[in-house]
Copies of this chain bind each other. A is one copy, B any other.
Amino acid sequence: MKKLLRVLLYIYLPIAISCPAWAQSDPLPSWNDTAPKKAIIAFVDRVTKEGGPDFVPPADRVATFDNDGTLWVESPVYTQVAFAFDRVKQMAPQHPEWKTQQPFKGILEGDMKAVAATGEKGLFQIVVATSTGMTNEQFEQTVSDWIAQARDRKFNHPYTELIYQPMVELLAYLRSNGFKTFIVSGGEVGFMRPWTEKAYGIPPDQVVGTTMKTQLETQDGKPVIMRLPEISFVDDGPGKPVGIDTFIGERPIAAFGNSDGDQQMLEWTAAGPGPRFMLLVHHTDAEREYAYDRKSSVGKLDKALDEANAKGWTVVSMKDDWKQIFAFQP
């Protein structure tokens, strides 16, 4: 019996000791001890305190995150645009006509003004040419191959390393407190799902994004999902609450964004009853990352910043509130 007791002690004592120790350790080590970190922890404490007035059952702890500029870098161009441009270059030998057709000509010649001049119609042509007319599995493989080798110019790192370490910690912290964490992004779901689980711990079914129309077809006697040249849903601006409602079916109690495209998602979150948490990441660190807001062509943060200031939403200054931005930085 004594031996059994000793065995039990060895097995279970570390658990009994380690639990309180773990609870006391800093869940957000890359965050400075400034207001945003305090606000996050205070909110999580409020909604997880059993018997407290603001307790939220785990089933309702839904948190939504924009991706571009909130979880990873979006400057100088959205990563999905970099992907599409690389794909045009890669596919050009099979499309000799692109040498004379905009916006493809501009991409191949590095003439971004000419590309920009084609506007939304041009962008749509690029998307159709590079990411439809193939099965979802073929596209997933294409994205996985690209993201494994592509490097951004400023940092010379894979894009999956250009994820914000403080936000990765925040995702894990929320999940360890019973939250379900979702991406709700303007990016296309087919572009995000192949790598979000590894990068953020977010599985494919918790990724909401802009969606291409698809249909079931048969190839070589096997069913395949074919990507059609038609956008069925744009998950940006007013589309984000619609995307949340359609794909998640529950209003978040916490939402995280960085631009005017996230404004309606934060408003939708704020408009529910009970405790709410809204946060904007403000890109203020030209040295360690980028600094931009009201006049930026990517991730413009203007009206949403005014609203955040007026309503007391949490605004993170990357320069002041984050000790570290990327895991690879000192």
Q: Which residues of A are at the interface with B, using a C-beta cutoff of 8 A?
A: 5, 8-9, 11-13, 16, 59, 62, 136, 180, 182, 189, 193, 197, 203-207, 211, 214-216, 222-223, 225, 232, 238-239, 241-242, 245-250, 264, 267-268, 271
Q: Write 14 A-B pairs (CB below 8 A) sorted by A numbering.
A: A5-B5, A59-B203, A136-B245, A203-B250, A204-B248, A204-B249, A211-B246, A214-B242, A216-B241, A223-B241, A223-B268, A223-B271, A232-B232, A247-B247
- Chain B residues within 8 Å of A271, by CB: 222-223
Is A223 a contact partner of B264 (Cβ separation < 8 A)?
yes
- Chain B residues within 8 Å of A197, by CB: 59
Closest Cβ of chain B to A258, distance in Å, is 20
Is B249 a contact partner of A225 (Cβ separation < 8 A)?
no
- Chain B residues within 8 Å of A16, by CB: 8
- Chain B residues within 8 Å of A11, by CB: 12
- Chain B residues within 8 Å of A241, by CB: 216, 223, 225
Is A248 a contact partner of B205 (Cβ separation < 8 A)?
yes
- Chain B residues within 8 Å of A238, by CB: 215-216
- Chain B residues within 8 Å of A222, by CB: 271
Is A246 a contact partner of B5 (Cβ separation < 8 A)?
no
- Chain B residues within 8 Å of A189, by CB: 246, 249
Closest Cβ of chain B to A142, distance in Å, is 16
Known contacts A5-B9, A8-B8, A8-B16, A225 near B211 by CB under 8 Å? no
- Chain B residues within 8 Å of A245, by CB: 136, 214, 225
The 7 closest A-B CB pairs, nearest first, are A204-B249, A216-B238, A12-B12, A205-B248, A193-B249, A225-B245, A5-B5
Taken together as a complex, chains A and B put the C-alpha atoms of A182 and B247 apart, in Å, by 13
Q: What is the chain B residue whose CB lies nearest that of A192?
A: B249
Taken together as a complex, chains A and B put the C-alpha atoms of A182 and B214 apart, in Å, by 20
Taken together as a complex, chains A and B put the C-alpha atoms of A205 and B252 apart, in Å, by 12
- Report copies per complex: 2
Is B225 a contact partner of A242 (Cβ separation < 8 A)?
yes
Closest Cβ of chain B to A3, distance in Å, is 12
- Chain B residues within 8 Å of A12, by CB: 8, 11-12
- Chain B residues within 8 Å of A223, by CB: 241, 264, 267-268, 271
Q: What is the chain B residue whose CB lies nearest that of A212?
A: B246
Known contacts A9-B8, A59-B197, A207 near B242 by CB under 8 Å? no
Taken together as a complex, chains A and B put the C-alpha atoms of A242 and B223 apart, in Å, by 11
Is A250 a contact partner of B9 (Cβ separation < 8 A)?
no
- Chain B residues within 8 Å of A249, by CB: 189, 193, 204-205, 207
Contacting A205 at CB < 8 Å: which of B136, B205, B239? B205
Taken together as a complex, chains A and B put the C-alpha atoms of A193 and B251 apart, in Å, by 13
Q: For the A-B complex with A8-B9, A11-B12, A205-B247 known, give 12 more contacts whose Cβ atoms are closer than 8 Å.
A: A8-B12, A8-B13, A62-B205, A182-B205, A189-B246, A193-B249, A211-B246, A215-B242, A216-B242, A216-B264, A223-B267, A247-B247
Is A205 a contact partner of B225 (Cβ separation < 8 A)?
no
Taken together as a complex, chains A and B put the C-alpha atoms of A232 and B242 apart, in Å, by 12
- Chain B residues within 8 Å of A180, by CB: 203, 205
